[in-house]
Amino acid sequence: MRHGDAIGGAAQDEAGDLRAQMVLSYYRLRQLLGLMGFLLPFALIAGSILDQHGIAPSISDYYHRLERDVFVGCLCAISMFLIAYPGHAKGRGERFGDDLVTSLAGFAGLGVAFFPNGGAGPDAPLAALSQLLFGTARVALAHYACAVVFLTCLGYMSFVKFARTADMRRRRIYRLAGLGVWFFTVATVGFSLVKISGTSASYDVVVSARLVFWSETFGLWCFALAWLLKGHADKRKVIPPQRRILGARPLGRL
């Protein structure tokens, strides 16, 4: 082998190692965000046990509790990653690209985080600057609208986008997860309407059984499962097995 060929081969190996390291760094960040979405309900439940107030009627109600930092912090981290996530280019026949759907979900997630719901009651002190600027009722309406958009986009990502390039087995999982997100989104809206405008008996059932909380939780878990599986599948496609070990080394100078 000539000296020039050896140098060229070494340069290609080094470039391949660097690419593997960068992809693995991105993969770990992506998986962290998926785990964050999966573990968010557990963290809120743990906080409820510690403050001895019991599980809140909905995840959004934690904005008005001591666990607000966990709720807002996780949503902001997830939302910012979704906004920054470019995804795959729009395929032939597709109406929406990944970037548009994830950005819409990300901005809606920020709306959920910064526009509190009306769980504290109409006479409660203001809990956010947005309530001062726009009024409690308008902000609560914006919160609910953003929550529906956020979950709907997550379901679309799983059912349509993730399933597009998957094999048959994974495609079924992604579509079931997407259907699960949509189903629990509809359930969340339905239970919320019952809580707002139903009878006192139906209100007591929804609140005591935490039906809104569990609907939101199962919807998040469905998408978190699809997100984690998709990240694992993408990593296996992009990085050959021998480079997954090399990619574990720290990044050197760029």
Neighbours of 142 (CB within 10 A): 18
For residues 20-37, average pLDDT: 79
Query: How sure is the predictor about 129, in pLDDT bands with cuts at 50, 70 and 90?
Result: confident
Burial class (CB in 10 A: 0-12, 13-18, 19+), 8: exposed
Tell me: the pLDDT tens digits for 172-204?
999 999 999 999 999 999 998 888 887 788 888
| Amino acid 174: pLDDT | 93
Compute the CA torsion angle 20, 23, 28, 30 (nearest 10 deg). Answer: -160
Which candidate, 115, 118, 107, places its Cα nearest to that of 142? Answer: 115
Is 81:106 a contact under the CB 8 Å cutoff? yes
Q: If you average pLDDT over residues 47-54, what whole number do you get? A: 87
Q: Which two tokens stand for residue 238?
A: 């992009």
- Give the predicted TM-score (pTM) of the model: 0.81
Q: What percent of the chain has pLDDT over 70?
A: 78
